[in-house]
Amino acid sequence: MLPMLAILMALGLVGCASNQSLPPASVTTWQSSHSATPEDAATADRLWQVFERYEGTPYRYGGTSANGFDCSGFIATAFDEALGRQLPRTTSQMLASGDVVGRDQLRAGDLVFFRIKGKDQHAGIYMGGDSFIHSSTSIGVTHSSLNGYYWRDRFSQARRFD
């Protein structure tokens, strides 16, 4: 009886410790909670479609394709495919372009930048709420929370490319 109880307890703990991603927020949910303009909602929808096509694609330094993306390669590809816009290729070039946006003024499609090891070296695309999509070195193309334990204290700035 005791070994069976131990097995059942172990199975229960495995279920609690799973590291599953939440599905992307729907555009409808995003709209209703953020008073989005129709243009913002359309931008978010097109970017989610690109995200869903590449979700899980591995991280690859210098990568710009379905074989692998670095963070700026994913951003450039997403903007090109979803919005027909060409952005600078590297994070440092992106930081030198666009308009600075306050964190409280973020709109879907704004780029968010994070300071890691003392410099701005990671970026993603803000999607509304506190969500952003990006290519993470550990997970590949994924979505994360700006307020997540890793990202909340590393956020440094945002840029808008209209």
State the DSSP code for 116.
Answer: E
Q: Which residues pair with 112 in a beta bridge?
A: 124, 158
Dihedral class, residue 57 (left if φ above 0, else alpha if ψ from -120 to 50, else beta): beta
Selected catalytic residue, list 16, 34, 134, 143: 134
- Among 80, 87, 72, 62, which residue's Cα sits nearest to residue 124? 72
Instruction: Single out the catalytic residue among 16, 34, 71, 143.
Output: 71
**Residue 49 has what DSSP assignment?**
H
Closest CA to 44 of 127, 107, 116: 127
Quick check: is 143 catalytic?
no
Q: Which of 16, 34, 122, 143 is catalytic?
A: 122
Known catalytic residue: 16? no
Active site residue 71: yes
Cα separations in angstroms, 68 against 13, 22, 123 = 34, 22, 16
Please give the positions annotated as active site.
71, 122, 134
